């Protein structure tokens, strides 16, 4: 979207801001950091969208009727899966945000080894004071870390680890303008 388009949109649709949500599941929050790197353009964006849920804002419950949700991170636990299904049901355009969401990326590196062996390697085979696999108050791991689209329908994919701020801004601008962004000349796996 050009800046003219954007100002036009601001003028005409002041009352109808799009409802944007972001969330991170099994990810490192790097994609969200990159999102913040949009810098001053965040202000432009805030004129067009309302941030209805995000780790960056203080809302506890994922709301209904969300227009766009950026989901960072893979599906690592049963809790992630539960959340994603809820998000899918409440979101119009679900965006797999970054490589973890698209390929399961770093979280998937445990997959060849299986849950048991992974937990043992992390919690029991390393020197530590209290050798035990945590079981209380932590959601159980899925047998394998999975990309989002293995479990729900995903509408848009933004590859990158993390996607650059420019890529994110472009993708959001296009989505706000009602277009499907073509991102492959801007980003790639591992970018």
Partner 1 sequence: MTNEELIALAAQEAEDAKKYRYCLDICTGTGCMSSCSDAIATAIEAEVRERGLQNEIKVKQVGCMGLCASGPILSVQPLGLLYREMTPEEGVAVLVSLLDEKPQVEKRIDTLQPFFSRQERNVLENTGVIDPERVNDYIAVGGYTALIKAITEMTSAEVVQEVLHSGLRGRGGAGYPTGLKWSTVAKVPGELKYVVCNADEGDPGAFMDRSVLESDPHRVLEGMAIAAFAVGASQGYVYVRAEYPLAIKRVKSAIKAAEKMGLIGQAICGTPFNFRVEVRLGAGAFVCGEETALLNSIEGNRGMPRLRPPYPAQSGLFGKPTLVNNVETFANIPGIINNGGAWFARIGTEKSKGTKVFALTGKITNTGLIEVPMGITLREIIYDIGGGIPNGRKFKAVQTGGPSGGCIPAEHLDTPVDYESLKNLGSMMGSGGMVVIDDSSNMIDMARFFMEFSMEESCGKCAPCRVGTVQLYNLLGKFQAGIATEEDLTTLEELCDLMRNTSLCGLGQAAPNPILSTLRYFRHEYLEKIQPSVAAPPEEAL
Partner 2 sequence: MSPTTPLIKTFTIDGKPVSATEDETILDVARQNGIDIPTLCNLEGLTPTGQCRLCMVEIGGTNRMVPSCVAKPDEGMEIVTDSERLLKYRRMIVELLFSERNHICAVCVTNGHCELQAMAQRLGVDHIRYGYLHPRFRLDGSHPRYEVDHNRCILCGRCVRVCDEIEGAHTRDLRNRGIKTLVITDFDGRWGESATCTNCGKCVHVCPTGALAEKGKSVAEMAKQRHFLPYLVMRRKGLKK
The residue ranges that bind partner 1 (CB under 8 A) are 75, 81, 85, 88, 142-144, 146, 150-153
CB of 135 to partner 1, least distance (A): 20
- Among 42, 106, 165, 177, interactor with partner 2 by CB under 8 A: 106
- Residue 152's binding partner, choosing from partner 2, partner 1, none, with beta-carbon cut-off 5 to 8 A by kind? partner 1
Q: Which residues of 88-100 are buried (b: 16+ CB within 10 A; e: fewer)?
A: bebbebbbbbbbb
- Residue 154's binding partner, choosing from partner 1, partner 2, none, with beta-carbon cut-off 5 to 8 A by kind? partner 2
- Among 6, 18, 154, 168, interactor with partner 2 by CB under 8 A: 154
CB of 190 to partner 2, least distance (A): 3
- Residue 85's binding partner, choosing from partner 2, partner 1, none, with beta-carbon cut-off 5 to 8 A by kind? partner 1
CB of 188 to partner 2, least distance (A): 4
Whole-angstrom Cα Rg for the chain: 18
Tokens of 25: 């599941």
CA atoms within 13 A on the CB side of 32: 18
Pairing verdict, β 66-72 and 91-97: parallel
Contact 133, 123 (CB under 8 A): yes
Indicate whether 112 belongs to the interface with partner 2 (CB under 8 A): yes
Tokens of 121: 């390697």
- Residue 95's binding partner, choosing from partner 1, partner 2, none, with beta-carbon cut-off 5 to 8 A by kind? none
Nearer to partner 1, 48 or 80 (CB): 80
Burial class (CB in 10 A: 0-12, 13-18, 19+), 28: middle
- 141/161 Cα distance (integer angstroms): 23
- Among 144, 152, 155, 164, interactor with partner 2 by CB under 8 A: 144
């Amino acid at each position: 979207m050009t800046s003219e388009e954007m100002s036009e949109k601001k003028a005409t649709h002041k009352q109808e801001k799009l409802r944007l949500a972001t969330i991170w599941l099994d990810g490192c929050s790097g994609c969200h950091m990159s999102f913040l790197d949009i810098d001053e353009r965040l202000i432009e964006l805030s004129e067009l969208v309302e941030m209805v849920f995000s780790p960056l804002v203080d809302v506890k419950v994922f709301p209904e009727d969300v227009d766009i949700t950026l989901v960072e991170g893979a599906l690592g636990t049963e809790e992630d899966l539960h959340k994603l299904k809820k998000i899918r049901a409440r979101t119009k355009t679900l965006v797999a945000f970054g490589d973890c969401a698209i390929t399961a990326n770093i979280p998937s590196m445990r997959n060849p080894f299986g849950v048991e062996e992974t937990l043992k390697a992390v919690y029991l085979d390393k020197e530590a004071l209290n050798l035990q696999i945590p079981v209380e108050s932590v959601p159980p791991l899925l047998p394998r870390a999975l990309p989002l689209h293995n479990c729900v329908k995903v509408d848009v994919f933004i590859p990158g680890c993390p996607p650059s701020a420019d890529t994110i801004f472009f993708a959001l601008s296009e989505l706000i303008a009602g277009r499907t962004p073509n991102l492959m000349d801007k980003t790639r796996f591992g970018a």
